[in-house]
Amino acid sequence: MGYKKQDIFVIMVFVLAVCARTYVALQTDYFNDDQSYFALRQIEHIKEKGTPLFKDLLNQREYYSLPTLYYLLTGFSFLLPMNIVAKIILNILASSSSIIIYLISLKLTRNRTASILSSILSAFFPLYIGETTNNITIYSVAIPLLLLSLLFFYKIDSQNHTPYGFLTSLILLIIFSQISFLFIFGLLCYSLLCYIEKIRQSKEEIEIIFFGFFFFLWTNFIVYKKAFQVHGIRMIWQNIPSGLLQHFFFKIGILEALYSVGVLPIILGIFVVYQYLFKKKSQQMYVIIGLLIGTFILFWFRFVSVILALIIMGNCLIILSSQAFKDIMLYINKTKISSYKNILLGIIFTICLLTSILPSIWYGLSSLGDVPNNVEIDAYKWIKNTTDNTAIVLTPFDKGILVNYFAERPNVIDYNFLSFSDANLRFNDTETMYSTQYKISALSLLNKYSIEYIYLDQDIREQYNISAIKYIDDNCFDQVYSKESVKVYRVLCKQLTTK
Amino acid sequence: MKLRQEAKLIILMLLCSSILLIPHVVRKISNPNPIGLDTYYHLRSIESFKQHGIQREDNLIFGSRPYKINIIDLVMSLMPNTSFLVEFLPFFLGTLSVFLLYLILREVEIESNTVFSIIVVLIASPIFIYSFTVFSEIPFLVFLLFLATYLLLKNRYIVSTLILCVLLILNIQIIPFIALLLALYYKFERGKTNWRLLVAAVIMVALVVSTRLNSVSELFSDLSLKRFIADFGSELGFGIFGLCLSSIGLLYSWKNKKEYYIIYLTLLIFTPIVLVIHEFIIFLELLLAYFAGIALAKIYNRKWGVSILKTYSILLIVCGLMFSSISFIDREINFPPYKEEILSLNWLKSNSTKDDVVLSHYKYGYLIQSVSERSVVADKIYFLTSKQKTRINDVNLIFNSRHLEDAQNLLNKYNISYIWINGAMKQGEVWRRDDEGILFLLSNSEKFKRVYEYHGVEIWSYEK
């Protein structure tokens, strides 16, 4: 299929998405979550030393992660300022998923109009926008790579051509992110579906899935070897403390799913899944359905977080909904209302606007509420300018990296749970140190972790449902910083140690 | 390029020798002590036979117990230079075992590439590496079993029977494996299944398992992957790539399940005994290596649709197998005991009396008995053979106690004079915090005095 005028719409959608994202991202100088600041630390370390921050001298810990994203961003940062790289380049990469979804839908449906609608839904996928607009996150690169791998998977043919496109995208996906496991598991589910439906898979497909599986296994065991030895099978759950598992793997309600993915993709996508599982047969559809089912299974057994599961399944449903669009338009063409086709398209577009585009904008703008405010940043900077280099600062896990980045001080716990052999214990102890009313047990824990400063802001008060830290008194604590809702306390009392 | 049979055999022997030698050679650079805590059980046993002959009572355990005579240790005590032999023999027997396995597989007419693949997978497995680098009964059992099998295939029944009898004398618990071996041989020779042998094997497995456990539920008490997968931290576990290959091999073989069902049954029968006697996992590994080798050979011989993928896939698999081995060897080089632990126990030997009893984790029982020649409260034999495990429970109570009187009652019960603590015990094996359990009492009570400290190893004396 050659290029047509309609393809220009796709480019326009892409440009519109980039502009919208960039507009939102540039509303603030900061990022939404601490993972972005961890990425910044990694990038700074690579610029300085040439290697990622595997052994962190600040926190005295080792980190386990695939560093490819950090190298990519470091490369860009030599050409452009880091802010531009993080806020614009990443948004361009994230938005490219709309073009890829258009191409996949086109391959499946051979209908440009239906594919353009999918592209719009993808460009304005509310949850994906909320997670990637103002964050330095692997999802911005990994999701487009996963979709690209899917696109190239469709191009594998049986004419003995080496599928370089698919191999390249798959290898890139594997070296960029552990999301590759979702893709490979999805392909395995696809193989199972073909087996059940007695569809013969091509040799090339089987060989590629086989190669992909082993390459994934090999890469991840090399990178995470030590983490596997320390944490064993818990490594698969990222050693997340049991108290936080609910936070990452919560069961989502239908309404919330509808809002975060979009009404049209969910309804139409599920309808297509039903059609092709129970009524029709299509090997091409089974690839997407396999990925959808695989992701759902992994989510159900808590191997992937709800956010990631919704993003992947949402993209699958968006692709599948293109088939539904095509079927709807074909049906309309056969009926008496075919002359009103354009009005109906307009109605569909309006529904898209109301259920995908507007929620995306809302998601994007509301995500800015998670950005650390100037008052908090000032407190971290005060800590940096006033305290000893080695002074450990107590914060909950979601602010640990902010302490490292802004205050340049060690933390007690952060989201890199794989770095701790006692993540569960640290998480619980942090909760105790904030919420207990007993000074002795608090001091015992503060001394155990050699904490010198306690940071308290409004988020922490809400998180632990406290108005203040109850055990703080003048004998053992000194309020060294106070501005609006942010306070910093210095720990004065050291309990006698047993040595 | 097709390799001749002899060339393949030489490659396998060289590979095996290198893999088994590397841990010893590299470890010697920084730690002259043999690998593995269990080695010290044998060292002590050999030394005891040399000095005192066959003893009735083992006095190096509190309250003494009948001496468990190990035939291999007894024979070793008659040889010179036992400290060298303890490290050399597993390597030597491993290499010979690989040679015998090669001959056996060729004898049963398995295709040459498959034989090569099976043995490569086996040699690269962490279980094989551990079993043939750490001194124990296992190298002898495996070697003799292979020898008996080969002689059986060569119709040397009398010699083979004699060897099987020797095997039974060395370790009666190997009897189910002998029954299964005979069943496999019967199937190979006659083409039929000898169900009586299989039933006998099942009964023997049940007997062995029942002697070790209080209840069936204990069989499933520790099925953690950390216990069985070397890449997840197990000392004696499967490599993940080998396991994946074995799974693929099992899937391939399912197409001809009628030919393989006896091996499937053997796998099933092996599993419970391996859950109870973890060291016998090498026999399970032999079977899984067989399937893994089938998978590897099939992948190599298959006509690929995308030829470049064939090369890269095989390269990946080989790299993956090597990765498991290298990763395991890297860990094994740093297995206990450590120099500072040996130093501390030598100090204890010189600065205590023969009647003193030492308290520590049962895992270090053999080490303390062997190096410092002092009695311990519990060791691994006690842990494995005692059903009630009273001493283990008492030791745990002492370790977790913060109440001086309670701790003293137990310390006096076992007449303990010294407490030996190493770094691993303080870093999660027993305690996680500096003031946890008895560590608090040690630092705060006058009843305890730290008499030795070096590089994380501490010895505390206890005054009754």
Q: Considering CB atoms only, which of A221, A233, A497 is closest to B323?
A: A221
Specify the CATH number for A374-491; select among 3.40.50.300, 3.40.50.970, 3.40.50.11540, 3.40.50.12610. 3.40.50.12610
Residue B238 scores a pLDDT above 50: yes
Band (pLDDT 50/70/90 cuts) for residue B262 is confident
**How many Å apart are CA B114 and CA B111, to the nearest integer?**
5
Interface mutation target, options A213, A214, A236, A450, chain B, most CBs of B under 10 Å = A214
pLDDT tens digits for chain A (499 residues)? 456 777 888 999 999 999 999 999 999 989 988 889 999 999 999 999 999 988 888 888 888 888 999 999 999 999 998 888 889 999 999 999 999 999 999 999 999 989 999 999 999 999 999 999 999 999 999 999 999 999 999 988 655 566 888 999 999 999 999 899 999 999 999 999 999 999 999 888 999 999 999 999 889 888 888 888 777 777 777 777 777 777 666 667 777 878 888 888 999 999 999 999 999 889 999 999 999 999 999 998 888 888 999 999 999 999 999 999 998 888 888 887 777 778 888 888 888 888 888 888 888 888 888 888 899 999 999 999 999 998 999 999 999 999 999 999 999 999 888 888 788 889 999 999 999 999 888 988 898 888 999 999 999 999 999 989 999 988 889 999 999 999 999 999 875 443 3
Q: Which two tokens stand for residue A366?
A: 């509301």
- At A290 the pLDDT is 96
From the centroid of its chain, how far is CA A492? 40
Q: Smallest Cα–Cα separation from A261: which of A114, A103, A96, A128?
A: A128
Asked if residues A173 and A179 have their Cβ atoms less than 8 Å apart, the reply is: yes
Q: How many CA atoms lie within 13 A of B138 on its CB side?
A: 25
Q: Which of residues 229-258 of B touch A (CB under 8 A)?
A: 229, 231-233, 240-241, 244
Asked if residues A432 and A461 have their Cβ atoms less than 8 Å apart, the reply is: no
CA distances from B201 to B26, B176, B272 (A): 41, 5, 12
End-to-end CA distance of chain B: 75
- Asked if the bond preceding B32 is cis, omega within 30° of 0, the reply is no
Comparing alpha-carbon positions, the chain A residue that sits nearest to B225 is: A233
* H or E element, residue B236: none
Q: Smallest Cα–Cα separation from B285: which of B122, B153, B151, B98?
A: B122
**How many Å apart are CA A455 and CA A453, to the nearest integer?**
7
Comparing alpha-carbon positions, the chain A residue that sits nearest to B310 is: A207
A and B: number of Cβ contacts within 8 A? 83
Asked if residues B375 and B356 have their Cβ atoms less than 8 Å apart, the reply is: yes
Signed CA dihedral, A429, A431, A434, A437: sign only: negative
Residues 6+ apart with CB under 8 A from B230: B126, B127, B236, B237, B238, B239, B240, B324, B327, B328
Asked if residues B248 and B121 have their Cβ atoms less than 8 Å apart, the reply is: no
Residue B174 scores a pLDDT above 90: no
Note whether A425 contacts B310, CB cutoff 8 Å.
no
Residue B327, chain A, CB below 8 Å: the answer is yes
What residues does B452 pair with on adjacent strands?
Answer: B459
Q: What per-residue string of b and e applies to A399-420 under the rule 16 or more CB within 10 Å gives b?
A: bbbbbbbbbbbbbbbbbbbbbb
Q: Considering CB atoms only, which of B229, B306, B323 is closest to A163?
A: B306
**How many Å apart are CA B294 and CA B298, to the nearest integer?**
6
- The Cβ of residue B451 has, within 10 Å, a number of other Cβ atoms equal to 14
**Domains along the sequence of chain B with CATH:** 5-33+80-332 (no CATH), 339-462 (3.40.50.12610)
The alpha-carbon gap from A128 to the nearest alpha carbon of chain B, in Å, equals 34
Q: How many CA atoms lie within 13 A of B362 on its CB side?
A: 18
Chain A positions touching B323 (Cβ under 8 A) are 218, 221-222
Residues of chain B above pLDDT 90, percent: 63
The amino acid that residue A232 corresponds to is: G
Comparing alpha-carbon positions, the chain A residue that sits nearest to B436 is: A498
Q: Which two tokens stand for residue A95?
A: 């938005």
Asked if residues A115 and A109 have their Cβ atoms less than 8 Å apart, the reply is: yes
Signed CA dihedral, B295, B298, B304, B307: sign only: positive
Classified as helix, coil or strand, B457 is: strand
The amino acid that residue A213 corresponds to is: F
Q: Which two tokens stand for residue A218?
A: 């090999």
Residues 6+ apart with CB under 8 A from A426: A241, A412, A413, A420, A449
Residue B55 scores a pLDDT above 90: no
Asked if residues A8 and A112 have their Cβ atoms less than 8 Å apart, the reply is: no
Note whether A203 contacts B304, CB cutoff 8 Å.
yes
Classified as helix, coil or strand, B253 is: helix
- At A372 the pLDDT is 87
Say what angle helices A358-367 and A254-261 make with each other, to 10 degrees. 100
Helix (H) and strand (E) counts in chain B:
22, 7
The alpha-carbon gap from B382 to the nearest alpha carbon of chain A, in Å, equals 28
- At B308 the pLDDT is 86
Residue A495, chain B, CB below 8 Å: the answer is no
CA distances from A305 to A180, A309, A447, B234 (A): 15, 6, 34, 28
Residues 6+ apart with CB under 8 A from B424: B336
Note whether B316 contacts A211, CB cutoff 8 Å.
yes
Most confident range (mean pLDDT) of A152-161, B55-64, B163-172, B360-369 is B360-369
Residue A162, chain B, CB below 8 Å: the answer is yes
Q: Which two tokens stand for residue B223?
A: 């099925």
- At B193 the pLDDT is 81
Q: Considering CB atoms only, which of A204, A230, A497 is closest to B306?
A: A204
CA Rg value for chain A: 25
The most distant pair of C-alpha atoms in chain A lies apart, rounded to whole Å, by: 89
**How many Å apart are CA A355 and CA A258, to the nearest integer?**
9
**How many Å apart are CA B145 and CA B36, to the nearest integer?**
24
Most confident range (mean pLDDT) of A25-29, A327-331, B308-312, B458-462 is B458-462
- At A149 the pLDDT is 95
The amino acid that residue B305 corresponds to is: G
Asked if residues B293 and B120 have their Cβ atoms less than 8 Å apart, the reply is: yes
Domain borders along chain A are 6-30+64-369, 374-491
CA distances from A189 to A286, A293, B125, B183 (A): 9, 7, 30, 39
Signed CA dihedral, A422, A423, A424, A425: sign only: positive
Chain B positions touching A171 (Cβ under 8 A) are none
Our CA angle for A68, A74, A76, nearest 5°, is: 110
Q: Considering CB atoms only, which of B224, B232, B432 is closest to A229?
A: B232
Interface mutation target, options A211, A219, A230, A496, chain B, most CBs of B under 10 Å = A211
Q: Which of residues 393-432 of A touch B (CB under 8 A)?
A: 421-422, 425
Classified as helix, coil or strand, B359 is: strand
The alpha-carbon gap from B384 to the nearest alpha carbon of chain A, in Å, equals 25
ipTM of this complex: 0.81
Chain A positions touching B244 (Cβ under 8 A) are 214, 217
